[in-house]
Amino acid sequence: MRNYDHILNLAKDLQDAGHRVSVPVDLSERGYSDRTKMKAEFMKNMFESIRSCDSILVVNDIDRGGYSGYIGPNTFLQLGLGFSLGKTLYCLENWDKRLPYNEELEAMNIRQLDIKLPH
């Protein structure tokens, strides 16, 4: 969620191009006293959203932690759920092959989005 504004801008670009888009709900402003409960609610909301969609787009065009095309643990979980539900999976950029779960990402047959979005 560090790049939430970037995700919202890309969502708008996709909506403007005629796509129906669902974005993660930012729960950070709801004043949770327990970060673990906040993360649990975030994950449950995302999993419900994934169940109702046709495809998943991973916004991984910002480098992090020394990795290019970074895909973090929460995103990896979301991709796994989407994969198990038969969703089409996309990412904006190729991920760094040094990620510890690279083989699992490769097995999910994630496609790189083949359009350039204005942002």
Summarised one tens digit per residue, pLDDT across range 8-21 is 998 999 899 898 99
Summarised one tens digit per residue, pLDDT across range 41-89 is 888 999 999 999 999 999 998 899 999 999 999 899 999 999 999 999 9
Give kind and range of the element (H or E) at residue 112: strand 111-112
Question: By mean pLDDT, which of 52-61, 90-99, 109-118 is the weakest?
Answer: 109-118
